[in-house]
A and B are shown apart, each in its own frame.
Chain A
Amino acid sequence: SQQGEEDPQALSIQEGENATMNCSYKTSINNLQWYRQNSGRGLVHLILIRSNEREKHSGRLRVTLDTSKKSSSLLITASRAADTASYFCASNSFYSGGGADGLTFGKGTHLIIQP
C-alpha cells in the first residue's frame, strides 16, 4: 500500500458514539497530520503528531502514533452530526529535510454520523 493509507474507507456510527480511524504508512516519517474535509470543501487541519510523540489530544480528538508499526489512529469521542466528513492522514518523509516537504495523503475515511 502507499504512504498514508486509512482504514476503514467508510464508517457509519450513531451520534454520541466514538469513531476510530486508522492510518498506515510505509517510510519513516518526520510527523503525521490529520485533516478533515467536508464534501467539496477545503482541508481543515486537525492535529499534528511528531515522530517522537506517541499520543496527542485536542478537544474530542485523540491521536496515537506507533512508529514501530508505522501506524496512527484518530479517535473522535462523543461524535456529533457535524463530524460527518472525510478524514485524511498526511505525512512527510523523515529524510527529506523538513519545512518545505510536500505531504503525502491517504485516500481518507469517510465518516458518517447518524443523528
Chain B
Amino acid sequence: EPEVTQTPSHQVTQMGQEVILRCVPISNHLYFYWYRQILGQKVEFLVSFYNNEISEKSEIFDDQFSVERPDGSNFTLKIRSTKLEDSAMYFCASGGTGLYNEQFFGPGTRLTVL
C-alpha cells in the first residue's frame, strides 16, 4: 500500500541554523501539507500546497518557513533560522483529489533545536 515517507526521522540542529525536512507524498496525490506537533500538544496545521503553490497557511507559518516541490516527487519544508521553540515533530501529509480529502500522514521528523 502506498505511503508517505519522510526523511530524516530525527534531526538535531543548533539554534539559528537552517534545516530542510523532506517528504515523498503518495505518488498520485495532488495536495500536500505540513503539520507540527510540539511534545504533549495538539497537531497543528502549518501549510497546504496545491498546483505548485501555497493554498493555505496558518499563522505559525511565518517568513522563517518555506515549502517547495522541487522535482515532482519530493516536498520540502525549510526553516531558515531555527529557534528553540521550533523543536517538534513535523508531519507531512498528502491527499488525493476532490472535496472530501482524506489526508495521509508520514511517520514524522523529530526536530530538536539546541
Contacts and interface: CB of A to CB of B under 8 A. Distances in A.
A48 B56 contact: no
Nearest to B54: A100
B100 A102 contact: no
A101 B107 contact: no
Contacts, number: 73
A25 interface: no
Contact of A101 (B30, B41, B48, B105): B48
B98 interface: yes
Interface in A32-59: 33, 35, 41-45, 48, 50
Contact of B50 (A96, A99, A108): A99
Contacts of B46: 102
A44 B33 CA distance: 15
Nearest to B30: A99
A67 interface: no
Category for how many chain B residues contact A: 20 to 34
Interface string A73-87: 000000000000000
A42 B100 contact: no
Nearest to A92: B101
Taking chain B's interface residues, is the majority helix, strand, or loop, or is none over half, making it mixed?
A: strand
Given A99-B31, A105-B43, A41 B100 contact: no
Interface string A87-115: 01010100010111111111110000000
Interface residues of A, number: 26
Interface in B1-40: 30-31, 33, 35
A41 B108 contact: yes
Among B35, B50, B91, B103: residue with most chain A CB under 10 A: B103
Given A48-B100, A96-B56, A98-B98, A41 B107 contact: yes
Interface of A: 30-31, 33, 35, 41-45, 48, 50, 88, 90, 92, 96, 98-108
Pick the 4 closest A-B CB pairs, nearest first. A102-B45, A100-B55, A42-B107, A43-B105
10 contacts: A31-B100, A33-B102, A35-B105, A45-B102, A45-B104, A98-B101, A99-B98, A99-B99, A104-B45, A105-B44
